[in-house]
Chains A and B, each alone.
Chain A
Amino acid sequence: MKLLSTSALAGMLALGAAMAQAETVLNGLFMSQSAYSEADVRAMADAFTAAHPDIKLNLEFVPYEGLRDKTLLAQGSGSGYDVVLFDVIWPAEYATNGILLDVSDRITPEMKAGVLPGAWTTVEYQGKQYGMPWILDTKYLFYNKDMLAKAGIAAPPKTWAELNDQAKIIKDKGIVEFPIVWSWAQAEAVICDYTTLLSAYGGSFLDANGKPAFASGGGLQALEYMKATVDAGLTNPNSKEYLEEDVRRVFSNGEAAFALNWTYMFNLANAGDDSKVKGMIGVAPAPGVDGISKISAMNGSMGLGVTKTSKHPDEAWEFVAYMTSQPTQNAYAKLSLPIWASSYDDPAVTKGQEDMIAAARVSLAAMFPRPTTPKYNELSSLLQVAIQEALLGTNTPADALANAAAASGL
């Protein structure tokens, strides 16, 4: 067996060497059905290879859950991906474990100046950049204009308390049974919603010493708010099982008046084929809290980075730079808003989604990050369980959060 494999390896190396002289092969890891569909990403990549005929691209698409696993495993095997898509919550872990290449010195001053300031936190850890922001996203408050009109509400809520009030009116008028729907399944999705609320209440995840601070103050109030809306019958109780697609389905079926979701839902709910609420959708930044914040938003972006184990870092960086360049970003602006500040004044970008752009301008500037710690995954898991326990009633919000803080090892 060993003999066979050695000769096979030798053969492959020889072949590889021969091929390397002809062209560079880059392996990229992307997410299937992110803001950009697989077809979109391939189209972007094809345009890149058209301009760089000596580079061949091998793109792989995996569901979100597979993204991190595959990146880590490939790291261990020494051969693997040159370019990887990563979630904003991973640079801390990736950087600490030497997975991503520090590209701080490859980023030109023009790039630095041109990209939205809030976007850089997507790829930063301890002052260094580990990639380029690629998909900017945050959660917005979507609302059904028709339902609000029927209830006699003139404008979407500016505070979370107002949201509750408006939901109550809608519920009392019998327009819909559970006016608010969320994605609170035991997954990263619930942390996104929690973060939005936490930032609204002025809380923080970790204090200046890196110790958990979410079990009191804004963090606690956020969870208490979540529980309160369920108890008051304003939030769809099935939210505990929902991910973003479920929220979209419920909202698009006209079974909710308010929903917190990513940019992608706007076009699909407002104009998609399977939507029953076409043309009725409005979008606003997520509300704030009286006296503490005007709006709230969390950083749900993703970045593209070059791996440390890549054998062609220069070509890989060129690919990343191309994918995140302004022309490419602008061309697909309907799916994901560009990272470049000047794009927001470009009529080609804003056409047809003025509401979205107006909300995005404000929200993207206020994106609040989830904790940047290499142990984020574990912290997130503990928080997810804590939130579920509080929502299910098996634990009070205070106790659940305290348990999570204690178990986090921070």
Chain B
Amino acid sequence: MKKKLVYLVCLFSIFSFQLNFSMYDDHDEFDVFSDTDLMMNSFIDTIDPNAAKQSSSSKEVLETLIGIFDIDRILRRNFFLKTHPLNTRRLLDNPLFLMDKDYNYGRWVLDFHLFYDQTSRMHFVRRCTDHECKDKMASGIYNYLATKDCCLIRELEQLKEKVDGVYPGLEDYSVRRVLSLFCNTKIQERRAGLFMGFMGSIRKLHVTLQVPFYYVIRNFFLNDKERKAIEKELGPVNPGETNEAEALAFARKHLVSDRLCLGDTRFSIDYPINDNGGIDFRLGVFTDIPTSVSMVKGLYGEVFCPIKKRPTVDFANLLDLAGGSEEDREQAVSFARRFGLNVLDGLSSMLVDTHLGDRRHFGLGLFVRTHTPLSCILNRGWTQNLFFKGRISLEYLFPAKECRWFIEKCNPVAFSRFDKYRSGDTVDEQVADEDLSFLEKRLVDMLFPYVYETNVRPGFIFMWTSKLTHESKRWGIHVGSDIWVQSREQLSDICCPTYQKTLLDIERSRRPWAYQWTLLGSLFFKSKRKKSTLYIGLSGEKTVASSGIGKPFKVSLSFERNF
């Protein structure tokens, strides 16, 4: 019995011993931690720290980016919701510059307007009619960039959680909160300059020539409250005066664009078609000649050219740098910073860069001018000097080549190729190389729309201005309203590689149709000289309703000489 018990204990002991050995994994056939193994020690001594500098394989990179960070889930989403430039109204279409006073001294009129025009919130999209703050809705950059896209934000938050686990220090920031700070970024445009006009009467024919010379500046804009919220959340980079100076220098380099230029020229002629002594109808034609030329660029800000040469990303190199020495890491950070600034400059070239005139489109239009005494409708003593003046025009803008931005339609099915990196399947190195190239290209595609020369057909512009005017010997007043409508543009003949033509999302690249309804008024004084009459006037207009374009206000000080 004793003997059996002893054997039992022996068996148990041996079993435990075996169990103990089986707990070692298969590569513990020699102990790498043994410092009594002289062969191992001498091998370890020969390891060269410089030998650690090797390049990561594509498979390794994908196992990290896909298997750990799920980066493909972010890249399958679109960052750009729109890629078209913003709608603006040309100065030539401004009703304040219509030369429609009662010029009764001589045959020639020389007209100068010193003007200022500001659009505080340019519209990225057509106005949403089902919202209370319609103007604000259309003017936030979240209409253009997916800064409010719930799916993208969710994916980014998940990525951040994973990064937090690996690299602490960013736990206090929330992706949703940070993006919400920037999603209401607006675009502002200001124009100031001299609008020049000359009108001559040759018998009953009126000939007019108009051209503006102006300074235009456009910038990203956040109000004080929004800026304070950003500072509160992210904190000043370097508090103090230096910080403000640096911030301003950064803004001028990346967020502001300006230029001084001569605009397009409008030449028009009109002729009376019905002059029955009361109501006066004049029919005319006009043409807009693309004479615009830039005099000085980047006086305060920069000129942003469309980024045609697309940047490249090398994830393998970036990961190697991130895992390398301090210098390597700085190099990776510097690359990321450059890449980020490139994205910003690319966005600025789309939204902020100030273009010349009407982007080189030749325009041809018809117009009708009316001049109706109120006394024709209501014959009272006080109606003697009151007139209805109107101008209706329809202009066709001819096609011209422009640089336009396009993104490719994202095909989520194409991303199924990355599933194997999550499941840990064996992957051929060549396949991994292709998959990594796809991922790198997708990141660039997501942040840098393609820039292609495109045939743009802006279509038609309709304008209807009506005013009630009163003019006496010494002064006059005009009040009225103006409606301006621009049709939606068409894009064709995109100069892109043939394979890409079906892939491009052209709808996102087309500017929306736009309209403005504006109230306007002007007050002027007449000063009669020996050989001429001088008109000095102050005018202003405010857009009260608009869609697809902002609501600007304009003021102008005019000097007109009729001789």
Our verdict on whether A and B bind, yes or no, reads no
